[in-house]
Structure 1
């Protein structure tokens, strides 16, 4: 696999030199400064490429291998007439990216919110800090902070009662922390949603259910995948995170069956998948190696991380990369075999870009946190470095075991 790390641009406290010294050859980045829906212009793309590839040229070069993400405008997700303008802009951005030599573009189709957590600083037994999602805490935000109409319909009586009891015991500081965590914006953005405006964003989806959102997704992919196919770009959708409906909003990229329906909507490898073991792995009914075997030729980008489902399976936290509920050995073996298949089939590009997804805050990253050196949640340097080292070693062992005859 091509080893990469996500880099949020010049303001990211994790530097390109950090990524280079981690042993990566590639960078995953995006133009977060451009408002969602506007065209990514060639000059802006080239500026980012030049920063990535030209900085400290005397050292090992880096390349911009994957765009993550080229975000989809909400009007497209809602199926509004104005979506045609934003689809046209999206197509133009793809043309400009292809002109600049970038061929892998990740996106997601989660309404309003991107990934969601309720705790960004969950302390692990070793003292490091992880990301966590607790269903009861999310219910507190939904029922008692946001006070969404009809939210009670989404929670059992038991959860409603425990959420109410816990909310009444929380300090104002704890309430504010939960609110700010739940309202985080897109990764790479320093802006969160405003509570007094957030309900209005949800209301825009009150007539959009599961079937309507799927229809809007398939319409979108049918408009952009032919352009991507023509340009030689691999589109790869990121699964929902967490992979379940939230806040009354449907989520339609959570299971193997969801992926199968999307792949059928435009039957060409240009319509592909970002295989995220953390997002898909939260659901016990997702067989990750099976998904790789079924959709191997559609996997264009890989996120490797693990999660641990807690006593309540709706709760999870992000584990070390080789522990938790994801069988990382089986996952990487299936990915190595897919790359081997591509090579044997004569495909010119057979290695898939991979990044160690998220990572615990640990060691010096904890000291930098105390000094308010702000990193994006999950994207501190040392936790990802540790994860990459573990994943690299596991992959090497699997590759060697497949190459050598058994003794």
Structure 2
């Protein structure tokens, strides 16, 4: 695996020289300051490359910008209304411009409205560390009593509705505001945030869009942009829904292995691939991560290795961001599957045999606590995660027989 590190730009509390010291070989970044739907112009791309290539004191770094996460798909494209056709053309031109800058991997997602969703951004675990959490009861309290979405209570089990009512009744105004901000935070690093009125407006616009229709819109989008990606040598990789089940009455179409099979078969191309996020997919107990890697390995262009701990084995339920080796996903088995795929690619002579991976999320520990960094992206917590993942990889690579046998 090629070890990477996510960086949100010059405002990120993690500096380029800090990333170098982590042992990461490249940077995952995006132009978060640009609105969705506009062209990423060459000068903006060149500036971000220059920022990655230099330490904060101006000295050259050893890093380069290797992966884009994310080139956002606008809500107009997802809904196929408004300026969606112009946004698709802008997306194509952005791919061309990125390719000219030497970038070959572009991660995106197709989640309606909120992108990833959590109910707590700094939830304290027993040892004093903090992490992100999704609590189904708190989310129901938000949906039913704070957002007051029509018909929301029908989307939850009776026990959840009753507990949500109890929790909401005990919340102060400040606690309700904190919950609402946590749920509507949106995409990491994004400058676009939404108040409740804007969320309601988006939900109303999605009213007639079923899962089948949203899946068709994704296929339509890929049928237009994948040929451009093929032409310029870019590999697109779709990130799974997070969490991988419906929220707010909105459709979700990238939550399971079957979802990925549908999209990858509908637009069958080396340029149409998958971001395997073990944390997002791992929030569902019916997603077998090593099996998913074994099945889709040839189309996995990017890896997010993180772990979650589920409260129950319900398909729709609560979970928190666990330490990288301590959640419900067998990380040893998953990395063994990744190494098997990389060996297979080398045997075929593929130039992309080394799959880029970044340690995703993790817990805030030691100096992370009180730093006020990007929620979900602690410096020390990710350093620990990368060290643990690198240790597994090194140990498995030195016992090649285990990797082959476990397949």
Same fold (TM over 0.5): yes
- Asked if the contact 2:4/2:27 (under 8 Å) is kept, the reply is yes
The residue number in structure 1 matching 2:107 is 106
Structure 1 gap ranges (5+): 369-373
Q: How far apart, CA to CA, are the structure 2 residues paired with 1:164 and 1:367?
A: 32
Q: How far apart, CA to CA, are the structure 2 residues paired with 1:404 and 1:210?
A: 41
Q: CA deviation at 1:349?
A: 2.7
The residue number in structure 1 matching 2:301 is 300
Q: How far apart, CA to CA, are the structure 2 residues paired with 1:263 and 1:354?
A: 21
The residue number in structure 1 matching 2:322 is 319
- Asked if the contact 1:180/1:192 (under 8 Å) is kept, the reply is no
Matched, 1:393 2:391: yes
Matched, 1:26 2:35: no
SS of equivalent residue, structure 1 residue 355: strand
Question: Structure 1 residues 59-68 or 211-220, which shifts more?
Answer: 59-68
Which runs of structure 2 are paired with 1:7-406 in the superposition (5 Å)? 7-55=7-55, 61-80=62-81, 82-311=83-312, 313=314, 314-368=317-371, 374-402=372-400
In the comparison of the two structures, how many residue pairs are matched?
401
- Asked if the contact 2:340/2:403 (under 8 Å) is kept, the reply is no
Q: CA deviation at 1:136?
A: 0.6
SS of equivalent residue, structure 2 residue 302: strand
Q: How far apart, CA to CA, are the structure 1 residues paired with 2:16 and 2:245?
A: 35
The residue number in structure 2 matching 1:371 is none
The residue number in structure 2 matching 1:6 is 6
Q: How far apart, CA to CA, are the structure 1 residues paired with 2:94 and 2:280?
A: 27
Q: CA deviation at 1:405?
A: 12
Summarize deviations over 1:344-392 as a string: whole Å, max 9, x none. Answer: 1111231011000001111011132xxxxx3111111000000000000
The 1:131–1:81 alpha-carbon spacing in structure 2 relative to 1, beyond 3 Å, is: closer
The 1:405–1:265 alpha-carbon spacing in structure 2 relative to 1, beyond 3 Å, is: closer
Q: How far apart, CA to CA, are the structure 1 residues paired with 2:312 and 2:89?
A: 46
Q: CA deviation at 1:155?
A: 1.2
The 1:350–1:42 alpha-carbon spacing in structure 2 relative to 1, beyond 3 Å, is: same
Summarize deviations over 1:185-223 as a string: whole Å, max 9, x none. Answer: 221025531112220111000000111100000000111
SS of equivalent residue, structure 1 residue 111: coil
- Asked if the contact 1:309/1:317 (under 8 Å) is kept, the reply is yes
Q: How far apart, CA to CA, are the structure 1 residues paired with 2:402 and 2:259?
A: 38
Summarize deviations over 1:243-294 as a string: whole Å, max 9, x none. Answer: 0000000000000000000001111110000000000111111111111111
- Asked if the contact 1:361/1:383 (under 8 Å) is kept, the reply is yes
- Asked if the contact 1:221/1:265 (under 8 Å) is kept, the reply is no
- Asked if the contact 1:240/1:279 (under 8 Å) is kept, the reply is yes
Q: CA deviation at 1:110?
A: 0.2
Question: Structure 1 residues 150-159 or 320-329, which shifts more?
Answer: 150-159
Q: How far apart, CA to CA, are the structure 1 residues paired with 2:403 and 2:233?
A: 38
SS of equivalent residue, structure 1 residue 54: coil
Q: CA deviation at 1:124?
A: 1.3
Q: How far apart, CA to CA, are the structure 1 residues paired with 2:198 and 2:259?
A: 31
Q: How far apart, CA to CA, are the structure 2 residues paired with 1:196 and 1:241?
A: 23
Q: How far apart, CA to CA, are the structure 1 residues paired with 2:63 and 2:43?
A: 19
Question: CA RMSD of the aligned region, Å?
Answer: 1.6
SS of equivalent residue, structure 2 residue 240: coil
SS of equivalent residue, structure 1 residue 139: helix
TM-score of the superposed pair, with normalisation by structure 2: 0.96
SS of equivalent residue, structure 1 residue 66: strand
Q: How far apart, CA to CA, are the structure 1 residues paired with 2:90 and 2:198?
A: 26
SS of equivalent residue, structure 2 residue 133: strand
Q: CA deviation at 1:57?
A: 7.5
Q: How far apart, CA to CA, are the structure 2 residues paired with 1:223 and 1:136?
A: 40
SS of equivalent residue, structure 2 residue 162: helix
